[in-house]
Amino acid sequence: MAVIRELRRQARQIVASLLGIGVIGYFAYHATEGERGLRSYFALGHRIELARAERDMAVAERRMIERRVAALRPGSLDLDMLDERARQVLNLVHEDDFVIQLP
């Protein structure tokens, strides 16, 4: 009888230990591999870096376009810019210009 009690007591301890290990394993797995785990955190950081680089490129392109538009305003008209834009819109060239056609 005492042997059966001892086996039950040890079985409870073993089951409780296995259950605890299982719970810890479950949370450890999801802390690294889960939707909000470490891998997702680092992947999100990488995506943020890429988005910032793309944003910086867009800002630089916008500034370039704003400078070109400012050069065409009546208050600060740049004659070279006006000539370039007129030739592009009208599809004309000066008789001294060389035309290189790309495929």
pLDDT digits (tens, 9 = 90+) for 21-48: 999 999 999 899 888 889 999 999 999 9
Q: pLDDT digit string (tens) for 45-77?
A: 999 999 999 999 999 999 999 988 887 777 777
Q: What percent of the chain has pLDDT over 90?
A: 45
In the chain, the number of structural domains is 2
Q: How many CB atoms lie within 10 A of CB 91?
A: 6
Backbone φ, ψ for residue 73 (5° rounding): -75, 150
Confidence of residue 20 (pLDDT cuts 50, 70, 90): very high
> Whole-prediction pTM value?
0.53
CA distance 91 to 66: 23
Domain span including residue 75: 44-90
- Is 28 in the same domain as 49? no
Do 59 and 26 sit in the same domain of this protein?
Answer: no
Q: What does the block give as tokens for 83?
A: 């000539």
Task: Quickly tell me which residue has 């591999």 as its tokens.
Answer: 33
Q: Are residues 26 and 50 both part of a single domain?
A: no
Query: Cα(63)–Cα(55) distance, rounded to whole angstroms?
Result: 12
